[in-house]
Amino acid sequence: MEYGRGDIERLLKEDLWALGRRAYEIRKRLYGDAATYISNMVLNYTNVCVVGCSFCAFYRPPGHGEAYSYTVEEAVKRVLAVDAVHGLRQVLIQGGVNPDIGIEYFEELFRALKAKAPHIAIHALSPLEVEYLSRRERATYREVLERLKAAGMDTMPGGGGEILVDRVRRGIAPRKIDSATWLRIMEEAHKLGIYTSATMMYGHVETLSDIAEHMYKIAELQKKTGGFMAFIAWNFEPGTSELGRKIPYPKTSATLLRMVAVARIVFEGLIPHIQAGWLTTGPETAQLALYFGADDFGGTLYEEKVLEWKRAEAPIDRRADVVNIIKSAGFTPVERDNWYRPVS
The annotation status of 55 as a binding-site residue, yes or no, is yes
The annotation status of 126 as a binding-site residue, yes or no, is yes
Contacts of 218 (CB under 8 A, 6+ apart): 164, 198, 228, 231, 267, 271
Least Cα distance to 212 among 11, 2, 9 occurs for: 9
* Burial class of residue 106 (count of CB atoms within 10 Å of its CB; 0-12, 13-18, 19+): buried
d(CA 56, CA 313): 19
Torsion of CA 93, 99, 103, 105, to 10 degrees: -70
- Order of strands across the sheet that contains 40-43: 40-43, 90-93, 121-124
- 3-state DSSP call for residue 63? coil
The annotation status of 53 as a binding-site residue, yes or no, is yes
Q: How does DSSP classify residue 299?
A: E
The annotation status of 162 as a binding-site residue, yes or no, is yes
The annotation status of 206 as a binding-site residue, yes or no, is no
- Do the beta carbons of residue 288 and residue 24 sit within 8 Å? no
d(CA 210, CA 205): 9
The annotation status of 54 as a binding-site residue, yes or no, is no
* Burial class of residue 224 (count of CB atoms within 10 Å of its CB; 0-12, 13-18, 19+): exposed
d(CA 330, CA 63): 49
Residue positions forming the annotated binding site: 49, 53, 55-56, 126, 162
Binding residues for S-adenosyl-L-methionine: 55, 162
Binding-site positions for (3R)-3-methyl-D-ornithine read 126
Residues tagged in the binding site annotation for [4Fe-4S] cluster: 49, 53, 56
